Amino acid sequence: MNHLIKITGKFLMVAACMAEPIHATEITESSNAVELDVIVVTATRSALSLADAPAAVTVVDAKKIETKNVSRLGDALDQVPSLYLQNGAFGPSQGTSGTSGLSLRGIDQNKTLILLDGQPIQDASSGKVNWRIPFVEDIERIEIIPGAFSSLYGSNAIGGVINVITKQPDRREFSAKLKKGWNDLSGEDGSVYFRDTLESGLGIVAGVGYQKRDSFVNDFVVKTPIPGAGTIPVTGWQAITTRDGLPAYLVGDKGRTPWTSANATLKLSYKLDARDKVFGGVSYQETNQDYTFFNTYLRNTMTGAPVSSGSLDIDGKRVTLAEFDFVNNSPLHEAATRYFAGYEGTIGKDTLLKLDLAKIDRAYSFTAAGATSSWNSGPGTLTDTPNSGLDGSIQLSFPMGEKQFWVTGLSLHRDEVNQKIYALSNWRDDDSRIAVNNGYNGSSTTTSLYGQNEITLSDTLKAYLGGRWDYWETRGDYFNTAATLFPSRNDSAFSPKASAVYKPVEAVTLRASFGRSFRAPANLDLYSTSVSRGRTTHNNPNLEPETGTTWEVGGEWRFTNTTQAGLTLYETRLENLIYLKQADTSTTRESFRINAGKARVRGIELTARTRLTNWLELDANYAYIESEMLENAADLLSVGKRLIDSPKNIAGIGLTAQQGPWTGTLSARYVSHVFFTAQNTDVVEDVPGSYDAYTLVNAKAGYAFSKTVKASLAINNLLDEKAYSFFLLPGRSATAELDFSF
């Protein structure tokens, strides 16, 4: 009978979660307990408490987001254990587009699945993510689940899953926010957001937001000397090295890259009865990046005139310079429109049904100057890559007997991309198209069947057994002067996973898991052939999926009502990794994509959280990540080296305070050196293009004048640390915010 009560309770919890959004327990002066009973859904595709999840889940909810200076999604994730974000994923004024990368437990973004309300939002061409697609004001919570999860989510879920869950119209809320930034965060933000449920059962969510950034100089011109003698003597240069340690000179910068970003969302839902509802909506995001004039630091020694081109004499060495070197490939346009609809309800007394359908249309285009072009004119190219994704799923959740709870479903995912690269007579003018140089079309469809059984073995032990079968079909073509149509092909993958959660006492949770996962090659890898700075990178329509095998063990210990700590050990073996194989000869510079690599990533993850006083809370985490390339037929010198985008150490600590009308946060994040090259030759730091070890300290203080009016002041990079993550990171900067909420 006890098992039946537990299964019935599980059903009721899932049903409640389907009908209403899930909220983490808020910490107030009258509730000193650490948030131990947060409900999560991504780890099992069903609702369960965080303490019972078969993975080391991290939840960032709306209350935590409010404590940070959040401009895009990555800003909210800066304290997530083992998560490394590249510059484009975070930072309110980075001079880059919203599309960038990450690694989770040392595994790069292409092998980490990013979801919005359970549906993928990764680009159909390259697999990267526009981090500005989620509207920050509309985020209810973000669930980060590291580990192998292809058993539930299919392709890309080798390193884990990040699921952004948006707000539902469960209560009345209206907010209007204004922000003003200074220094490297110079710019303005504004947003209006509303949600409510009417007596008729109709729910509505609507919001718009706009961001404008002046940006700052973060991309520099570095030149290396070549044999021979220069003819123009210059001053103003700075002797440095490249990130690989070669002698070089800093001669200028590429100016600022100001940008604007807009978000809009409209969601409707209707309650058919207490447990059944239909919903749908549309959201839109657009980013436009511009440019300002470059700066040369060089002056002609004889005349004092600025120098931006020519054969230069720098310290007795020859350096060739052209205005092309100062080009920042802007403007850039990036947009996404997402349509979605679904149904959540019940069949009979004990079966939950969830239907989802989502389509996302993306625009992505940028210009590039030709090698003979000047900064503001000359021939170039426009790369236009519209692409789309379609997702549909049917999921059933139901108890079977007294000890089992099943989650099973069917899903369909379809990616399409149609890229064209146009020749421009003037690379600064999109309308000066004179021909189509080349391009490609790609279409990939995955049909999937998955199932997971949660088995209650005893009052203290649960097991999760599941698997997913994915059938993948792809076709495409590449064209330049003639079209090459590649034969359609297909493949399949079965991704099993077994997990166990053991609670010997109420205060201790132990877990272990083993699973296999995969990532199907992106359309870009399969069908795109590109030329950049004289090197041709060829497509390979015969690439096989990358695979991973992961085990992990760990758990949490709740020492008191207000203190907990966690430990996780893990290892992932990667195979069939896709790399570029160089085929340099005396007459050509070519690269070919092949399945070439095997690697191992293993590590330790530590977390701790405690309530120091009734108004002050401490969070801390540390990750040690050991990654190694074991085999690589494409690059033998990379064997034994660390994987790129994989820091060895990540540590974070944060203090959150609330006392009366005052709130405050102080956080620090350390990331060790990251390698950009597979051979780990880029060992030099503090030079343009390097990936430095750094510690960023951020602070934010807020004051509530009333229940409806709040103000805050945030300081990013409080210690004004200078560091590069390829681009120069923002220096010490301030942001003021005024929030009207009803």
Share of the chain above pLDDT 70, in %: 92
Q: What distance in Å separates the CA atoms of residue 340 and residue 391, rounded to the nearest whole number?
A: 9
| DSSP one-letter string for 261-280 | EEEEEEEEEEESSSS-EEEE
598: confidence class by pLDDT, cuts 50, 70, 90: very high
Sheet holding 107-108, edge to edge: 83-85, 102-104, 107-108
Q: What distance in Å separates the CA atoms of residue 120 and residue 629, rounded to the nearest whole number?
A: 29
pTM: 0.93
Q: What distance in Å separates the CA atoms of residue 370 and residue 322, rounded to the nearest whole number?
A: 11
Question: What is the average per-residue pLDDT within 358-365?
Answer: 96
Neighbouring residues of 417: CB distance < 8 A, sequence distance ≥ 6: 124, 125, 385, 386, 387, 388, 440, 441, 442, 443, 523, 524
Which amino acid is present at 365?
S
Residue with tokens 């004179």: 434
Which pLDDT tens digit goes with each residue over 244-255?
999 999 999 999
Take residue 669 and report the two structure tokens written for it: 């994040």
8: confidence class by pLDDT, cuts 50, 70, 90: very low
Neighbouring residues of 316: CB distance < 8 A, sequence distance ≥ 6: none
Question: What is the average per-residue pLDDT within 399-410?
Answer: 95
Question: What is the average per-residue pLDDT within 599-620?
Answer: 96
DSSP lists the bridge partners of residue 45 as: none
8 A C-beta contact, residue 683 and residue 658: no
For the ranges 395-404, 415-424, 439-448, 481-490, the lowest mean pLDDT is seen at: 481-490
8 A C-beta contact, residue 169 and residue 153: no
Averaged pLDDT of the chain: 90
* pLDDT above 70 for 648: yes
Which pLDDT tens digit goes with each residue over 290-303?
889 999 999 999 99
Take residue 404 and report the two structure tokens written for it: 């089992």
| DSSP one-letter string for 340-402 | EEEEEEEETTTEEEEEEEEEEEEEEEEEEE-TT--SS-S-EEEEE--EEEEEEEEEEEEEETT
Amino acid 467: pLDDT: 97
Which amino acid is present at 354?
K
Question: What is the average per-residue pLDDT within 115-135?
Answer: 89
Take residue 615 and report the two structure tokens written for it: 């108004």
Which amino acid is present at 440?
Y
* pLDDT above 70 for 427: yes
Amino acid 672: pLDDT: 97
Amino acid 10: pLDDT: 59
Amino acid 5: pLDDT: 40
Q: What distance in Å separates the CA atoms of residue 395 and residue 100, rounded to the nearest whole number?
A: 32
Residues in the chain: 742
Which pLDDT tens digit goes with each residue over 376-404?
899 999 999 999 999 999 999 999 999 99
Residue 99 to residues 133, 287, 297, 418, 616: CA-CA distances in angstroms? 10, 10, 30, 18, 36
Domains (range + CATH), the chain:
2-219+254-291+328-741 (2.40.170.20)
8 A C-beta contact, residue 610 and residue 616: no
Amino acid 126: pLDDT: 84
Amino acid 635: pLDDT: 93
* pLDDT above 50 for 22: no
Burial of 237 (0-12, 13-18, 19+ CB in 10 A): buried
| DSSP one-letter string for 14-39 | HHHHHHS---PPPPBTTB-------E
> Which tops the pLDDT comparison, 530 or 341?
341
Residue 414 to residues 17, 332, 336: CA-CA distances in angstroms? 28, 26, 16
Asked if residue 169 has a cis previous peptide bond (ω within 30° of 0), the answer is no
Q: What is the CA radius of gyration of the chain?
A: 26
Q: What distance in Å separates the CA atoms of residue 118 and residue 140, rounded to the nearest whole number?
A: 13
Amino acid 504: pLDDT: 96
Residue 648 to residues 228, 330, 543, 603, 626: CA-CA distances in angstroms? 42, 34, 30, 9, 6
Pairing type for strands 649-659 and 616-632 reads antiparallel
Within 455-546, where are the H helices?
Answer: 523-527
Q: What distance in Å separates the CA atoms of residue 656 and residue 613, rounded to the nearest whole number?
A: 11
Q: Which helix (H) or strand (E) holds 728?
A: strand 727-728
